[in-house]
Amino acid sequence: MLKRKDLYFLVFFLVLLSLFQITQINDFYNYGDDFAQYILQSKSLFDSPIEEYELQENLNSFSNIQIGPNSYPVGYPFVLKFIEVFSNGEFKYYKLANIFFFNLYIFFTYLILFNKSKIYAIFVALLISLSNEIFNLSHSIESDLMFGLFCIISIYFLDKEKYILALIVCMFTLIIKLQGVVLLLAITFFLFQKKILKQFINVYLVFFILYMIIYFSKFKFLLGEYKDHLRQFSPYFSNFKYNLDLISTSFLPSFINYQFLSFIILIVFIYVSIKLIINFNSPSIHYLVFAGYFLFFSLYLNQQGIRFLLVLIPSMFIIVYELLKTTRFKDTLTLFIFSLLILINSSQAYKIDYPDEAFGESSSKLYEFITNVVKDEDYVAFEKPRLLRLSTNKKAVFLDQSSLLNKPEYVVIKKEESEKFYEHLKIYSLIMQIDKYYVYEINENN
């Protein structure tokens, strides 16, 4: 039993961390609205999912700019629905989902690294758990932690040569985020090069048939709809350096210059590329995952922080270990560097950085006014329409020049932005100022 004392220590640590996270949950949230659509989809899941999708499609059509998909894949909204059932839909409890996924993400990262070195595995697990960038995701309401977790569970089963389980879990990632296709391609290539792909044709066939049945049904939107997301890609790898810096800053305290570590991550990428070429016929799944997702998110232009790169972090530390093991003093060097980083990061960790913006006093006053004044059939233009719709149950559209040409009945705009839309606001009358917000109503003769 004592041989696994490192595992017991990690489990005990994660249980304590979970309890701490639960005591910290509140209604504070930043001024985004991606999370709002996940909740809106969740609320309609077993009641009126088609109506919710059609409404969001209609609201998005008001503007030339589609601020988000008409529908996210159903996996994460399904989890939120489960929480809603047991929490009566109180906002703060939705955060429990990512608290759970965060701690499982740390646990499976440890399991993936355990076969390399117990001490290395526990140090990496602690280092990741002390990354404030990653820890803050545990109090978010977005699908990235769930996606990253299921990806690394699939990789864990692959390492254990439980290929059918790895494939099933991998295929499930596609109903969490469509980026799961990168992992599916990596695993498929891995199995093909091992000359065992034919053994699993039935698994692929069942998945393909089920996917096509849904895709060609009226419930296609449950797989996610990203009509305009091709415009988010660039052939110039514009995010390559951004991703190098991002990984570096996520594990270093703010007062340390990260450029040297960015250079190390670049060396890791070059090393991976060379190894994949040399070992083309027998590639490592960790090398394929690291290279595949690093390149994918270097082509994909949304710079959304470390949440997009969670899937490759365990594989990156596998590769770093293989680089370190070639040095004579690998154990001493690893222990020293990781101990130092853990010690420094521990003084800054677990500071949940979610300001009270989405549901703060000013925003709450606005939601109350909109709820009481706006009719259900009227449209409201606002910079965060999904947040407004979640909070008021009114038809909210994205505020820009193209949406104002469609003459929504109400416009909610910040004071400093009103001059920008001066010409469009001539047909509106100012009816209320609520702190930083101006509320305009269209004149009756328009």
pLDDT of residue 259: 72
Q: Is 381 helix (H, G, I), strand (E, B) or coil?
A: strand
On whether both 321 and 384 belong to a single domain, the answer is no
Q: Is residue 48 part of a domain?
A: no
pLDDT of residue 408: 95
On whether both 274 and 370 belong to a single domain, the answer is no
On whether both 338 and 435 belong to a single domain, the answer is no
On whether both 188 and 253 belong to a single domain, the answer is yes
pLDDT, average across residues 61-81: 91
Q: Residue 379: is its pLDDT beyond 60?
A: yes
pLDDT, one tens digit per residue, over 266-282 is: 888 888 999 898 988 88
Contact 302, 242 (CB under 8 A): no
In which order are the strands placed within the sheet that holds 437-442? Answer: 395-398, 379-382, 410-414, 437-442, 428-434
Q: Is residue 352 part of a domain?
A: no
Which domain-ending residue is among 282, 312, 346? 346
pLDDT, one tens digit per residue, over 178-222 is: 999 999 999 999 999 999 999 999 999 999 999 999 999 999 999
Helices (H), 279-384: 285-299, 313-324, 330-346, 361-373
pLDDT of residue 35: 94
On whether both 310 and 408 belong to a single domain, the answer is no
On whether both 271 and 392 belong to a single domain, the answer is no
Longest alpha-carbon distance in the chain: 82
- How far is the C-alpha of 171 from the C-alpha of 173, rounded, in Å? 5
Residues 6+ apart with CB under 8 A from 194: 282
Which domain-ending residue is among 293, 323, 346? 346
pLDDT of residue 2: 43
pLDDT, one tens digit per residue, over 117-168 is: 888 899 899 989 988 889 999 999 999 999 999 999 999 999 999 999 999 9
On whether both 373 and 290 belong to a single domain, the answer is no
Residue that wins the pLDDT comparison between 106 and 271: 106
Q: Is residue 302 part of a domain?
A: yes
Q: What is the CB neighbour count within 10 angstroms for residue 45? A: 18
Output the average pLDDT for the chain.
89
CA 292, 295, 299, 304 torsion-angle sign: positive
How far is residue 345 from each of residues 129, 253, 381, measured CA to CA in Å?
Answer: 10, 6, 43
Rounded to 5 degrees, φ, ψ at 434 are: -120, 95
On whether both 423 and 285 belong to a single domain, the answer is no
Only one residue has tokens 């044709």, namely: 201
Q: Is residue 355 part of a domain?
A: no
Contact 49, 157 (CB under 8 A): no
Which domain-ending residue is among 318, 346, 374? 346
- How far is the C-alpha of 160 from the C-alpha of 343, rounded, in Å? 33
Q: Residue 239: is its pLDDT beyond 70?
A: yes
Confidence category of residue 4, pLDDT binned at 50, 70, 90: confident
pLDDT, average across residues 278-295: 93
Q: Is residue 53 part of a domain?
A: no
On whether both 91 and 154 belong to a single domain, the answer is yes
pLDDT of residue 254: 60
Q: What is the CB neighbour count within 10 angstroms for residue 372? A: 8
Q: What percent of the chain has pLDDT over 90?
A: 64
Confidence category of residue 228, pLDDT binned at 50, 70, 90: low
Contact 180, 173 (CB under 8 A): yes
Q: Residue 329: is its pLDDT beyond 50?
A: no
> Can you give the residue range of the structural domain that contains 370?
361-442
Q: Is residue 227 part of a domain?
A: yes
Angle at which helix 180-193 crosses helix 163-173, to 10 degrees, equals: 160
pLDDT of residue 88: 86
On whether both 337 and 375 belong to a single domain, the answer is no
**Helices first, then strands: H and E counts in the chain:** 19, 5
Least-confidence region, from 38-52, 75-89, 333-347, 371-385: 333-347
Confidence category of residue 425, pLDDT binned at 50, 70, 90: very high
On whether both 258 and 121 belong to a single domain, the answer is yes
| Distance, C-alpha 56 to centroid of its chain | 21
Q: Is residue 66 part of a domain?
A: no
Least-confidence region, from 73-82, 225-234, 305-314, 378-387: 225-234
Q: Is residue 58 part of a domain?
A: no
Pick from 241, 245, 243: which is nearest to 260 by CA? 245
Pick from 438, 443, 444, 413: which is nearest to 426 by CA? 443
pLDDT of residue 1: 40
On whether both 173 and 140 belong to a single domain, the answer is yes
Question: How many domains does the chain divide into?
Answer: 2
Confidence category of residue 255, pLDDT binned at 50, 70, 90: low
pLDDT, one tens digit per residue, over 331-363 is: 666 666 677 777 777 767 777 777 888 999 999
